Amino acid sequence: MRLPISPQVRRALVALTATAVTAGTAVGPAVASGHPAKPPKSATPGAPGGEAKKEPPAGMSQAGGARLGQPGDQVGAGAPALPPGLSALSWVVADADTGQVLAARNAHWPLPPASTLKMLFADTVLPGVPHDASRKVSDEDLKGMGDGSSAVGIVPGQTYKVPDLWRGVFLRSGNDAVHVLAAMNGGVDKTVADMQKKAEGLGAKDTHVLSPDGYDAPGQVSSAYDLALFLRSGLKNKDFKEYCGTASADFPGGPNTKGKPFGISNTNRMLSGIEGVAKYPGLIGGKNGYTSHAGNTLAEAAQRDGHTLVVTVMNPQENKHDKVYTEMRQLLDWGFTAVGKTTPVGTLDAAAPANGGGKSGSATGAAAGSSDSGLGALGWTGIGAAVVVAGGAGALVLTRRKKAKPRGDAVV
């Protein structure tokens, strides 16, 4: 016999249900099998379809300065006005030489990085794989690549030189080239572990590595701050700097080209100038990325009047053509106007924080917590909460949201 529910309990259940619905979680009746009702599908920031989550986690890292852990735009005294219409969830503008962060938005928000994570891959693997080495590629080398991965066109059974593989990584964002180089580094698992160790050594505390190529994986995140660290570190390596700044090259051919080399252009359109995006004057280079979970991501370095800037942009929310490049161009232009004239809001040299105290720039959010992990309670994408009302009483159950089928990096 079902026990009657008192008015007090009924009101509590109604309130619990309303709270859950307001929070965007699924609410369902008790299920005899013990399987809770599935939560509704919702889009990760930048993913097509659905409403994007637009609020950063409450407890972002304060690495590099307290202001970098605060939500919203952070701009120092004396800075010119920020460009209008910036829609990216997070971005950082920094002086690569001094490490000063000139301005930022949600610098430590952990978000999917897509192929910008290949910068960390290069930081990690470039020094360890001999530049004059070559490898005859096997099917095993390419095992484990995600469905829809971007590829430069590596053919099993063919031998490739290491410089060609790196051009495949940087120019075509080739996950196939990444996997071959990872095999030369001791395998994917070892490479992922090496990348995580390298990230920690650079002070990139928001980054959690699960794949060497940036392919979507639940819990794999980085931040605009960490991407700036990866690019700044890479620029100190002459090979990294050469590869990230190469606009076009020839790549070894296979059966489809009768062994003849074929041309490849850099998918970083601010560098290559392809598909209607104008080249940026003084651009050194960087790395772009796109997946269905990450949206568009982009890291660039440029030089002007004796200054070198590093700028990172993650997930513009306006679905306009080339929006990530438009916002990158605006922020680079702003940075060259501001450098040397504005008080920094933080530093990329977290061991020696700049004076980043005081009130936030155009944002007035509360100060962030002191956790250096930067992940926050809701920092990882792909993880949600469902509230299940069971047996006449309220029970909170944490479940993993069903992951949408990821799409590999595309030319952006």
Q: How many Cβ atoms from other residues are within 10 Å of residue 213's Cβ? A: 29
320: confidence class by pLDDT, cuts 50, 70, 90: confident
DSSP 338: H
For the chain, what percent of residues have pLDDT higher than 90? 68
257: confidence class by pLDDT, cuts 50, 70, 90: confident
d(CA 372, CA 61): 4
| Cα–Cα distance list, 4 to 10, 27, 72, 388, 391 (Å) | 10, 21, 49, 20, 12
258: confidence class by pLDDT, cuts 50, 70, 90: confident
More reliable by pLDDT, 332 or 400:
332
- The answer to whether 234 and 119 are in contact (CB under 8 A) is yes
What is the average per-residue pLDDT within 330-353? 91
- The answer to whether 85 and 376 are in contact (CB under 8 A) is no
The single residue listed with the structure tokens 């009130």 is 359
Condensed to tens digits (0 to 9), the pLDDT of residues 367-387 reads 333 333 333 323 333 323 322
What is the average per-residue pLDDT within 63-75? 97
Q: Would you say residue 404 has pLDDT above 80?
A: no
Model pLDDT, residue 256: 79
The single residue listed with the structure tokens 């438009």 is 326
What is the average per-residue pLDDT within 149-177? 97
Model pLDDT, residue 354: 47
Q: Would you say residue 187 has pLDDT above 90?
A: yes
| Cα–Cα distance list, 60 to 73, 105, 117, 198, 199 (Å) | 14, 12, 20, 21, 17
Tokens representing 392 are 């006449």
Residues assigned a catalytic role: 115, 118, 173
Q: How many Cβ atoms from other residues are within 10 Å of residue 155's Cβ? A: 15
Q: Would you say residue 24 has pLDDT above 90?
A: no
More reliable by pLDDT, 86 or 358:
86
d(CA 163, CA 247): 15
Condensed to tens digits (0 to 9), the pLDDT of residues 127-157 reads 999 999 999 999 999 999 999 999 999 999 9
Q: Would you say residue 290 has pLDDT above 80?
A: yes
Q: Would you say residue 366 has pLDDT above 60?
A: no
Torsion of CA 177, 179, 181, 182, to 10 degrees: 160
Condensed to tens digits (0 to 9), the pLDDT of residues 83-110 reads 999 999 999 999 999 999 999 999 999 9
| Cβ-based neighbours of 84, under 8 Å, separated by 6 or more | none
397: confidence class by pLDDT, cuts 50, 70, 90: very low
Beta strand extents in 110-224 (DSSP E only): 134-136, 159-161
d(CA 102, CA 110): 20
Q: Would you say residue 72 has pLDDT above 80?
A: yes
For the chain, what percent of residues have pLDDT higher than 70? 72
d(CA 387, CA 396): 5
Q: Which of 4-13, 275-284, 348-357, 390-399 has the largest mean confidence?
A: 275-284
Amino acid at 26: A
Burial zone of 17 (CB within 10 Å; 0-12 exposed, 13-18 middle, 19+ buried): middle
Model pLDDT, residue 373: 32
Amino acid at 229: L
408: confidence class by pLDDT, cuts 50, 70, 90: low
Model pLDDT, residue 254: 83
Q: Would you say residue 363 has pLDDT above 50?
A: no
321: confidence class by pLDDT, cuts 50, 70, 90: confident
Helices (H), 76-187: 118-125, 162-172, 175-184
HSE value, Cβ hemisphere, 13 Å, CA-based, for 308: 14
Model pLDDT, residue 53: 56
